[in-house]
A and B are shown apart, each in its own frame.
Chain A
Amino acid sequence: MTSPAPDTPKVTPEALAAMRNDMLRFATLQLRDSHLAEDMVQDTMITALNKAEQFGGRSSVKTWVFAILRNNVLDAIKQRSRTVNAGDYIAEGESMDSAFDTLFKANEHWTPAARPTDWGDPEDALREQQFWKVFDACLTRLPENTARVFMMREFLELDSNEICETLSISMSNCHVILHRARNGLRRCLESNWFAEGASAC
């Protein structure tokens, strides 16, 4: 005879309320629009409650709810990307590209000042709240379209083919944009967190 374990998690209004702030943070970061993010989190909570009995307990409630939220975010990104063309990505990246070029000498090797440094044991940073504030600030500093491509790749975990198709950009453009984003992000973290003394606050 089997009865459900008493501690099987359930999708309840309380459980959803407890993760509301996390959902909002995630959606705002992806969409850069707090009103839209607010609406989306609301919709996600309603959908989750309506489908609550479909939750099988194979994942955590949070993972299950975030899967719904990710789909909603992705739909919004698809809608919005219709108004962006390939030229916008190129124009937006020009200043990032010239910043990137200054890291190299004429022979395309690192200048001494720009050589990527050893971050030691960076995993330690992941346990610190302050690190994530810097991380969010660095993400927000990326230009909007560049950030969107990066988020689709890293947060929504789409592969580059899907991103190209969704945004109607070429694969090589996609690689250029992702490289810009990673480089911008790591440079920002290097100067605001990993540089000696930068984290002393």
Chain B
Amino acid sequence: MLSCKETSQLISQAQDRELGIVERMQLELHLAMCKGCSNLRKQMDFLRGAIRRYPSTADDDTPVDR
């Protein structure tokens, strides 16, 4: 059973390399049971998506002042 610390590292590595089948199973098992780590994965997915839409480089995504 993975610890949250190990899970955090795997979530990050999944963005940089293909995880092995055992790693993927361990990861999904942990995420299914751990709200903190499943929030963490959503946060890290969001970070990657946010940078893809970084306003200076994106074409048509003009943020508005609020």
Chain A positions near chain B (C-beta within 8 angstroms) = 22-23, 25-26, 60, 62-63, 66, 104, 107-110, 115-119, 122-123, 125-132, 135, 153-155, 159-160, 171, 174-175, 178-179, 182-183, 185-186, 189-190
Prevailing SS type, chain B contact patch? helix
- B64 contacts A127, C-beta separation under 8 Å: yes
- Candidates B13, B43, B49, B55; contact of A116 at CB < 8 Å: B43
Prevailing SS type, chain A contact patch? helix
For the A-B complex with A22-B55, A186-B47 known, give 15 more contacts whose Cβ atoms are closer than 8 Å: A22-B56, A25-B56, A104-B3, A108-B4, A110-B36, A116-B36, A116-B39, A119-B46, A127-B64, A128-B63, A129-B66, A130-B66, A178-B16, A183-B12, A186-B44
- Candidates A66, A126, A160, A183; contact of B50 at CB < 8 Å: A126
- Candidates B37, B42, B56, B63; contact of A131 at CB < 8 Å: B63
- A175 contacts B9, C-beta separation under 8 Å: yes
Contact residues in B for A189 (Cβ distance below 8 Å)? 43, 47
Contact-residue size bin, chain B (C-beta under 8 Å from the other chain)? 35 or more
Chain A to chain B: the 4 pairs with minimum beta-carbon distance, closest first: A108-B3, A115-B36, A22-B56, A179-B12
- Candidates B17, B43, B51; contact of A186 at CB < 8 Å: B43
Q: Contacts A25-B56, A179-B12 known; A185 to B40 CB distance under 8 Å? A: no
Contact residues in A for B37 (Cβ distance below 8 Å)? 110, 116
Contact residues in B for A160 (Cβ distance below 8 Å)? 16-17
Q: Contacts A129-B65, A182-B44 known; A108 to B5 CB distance under 8 Å? A: yes
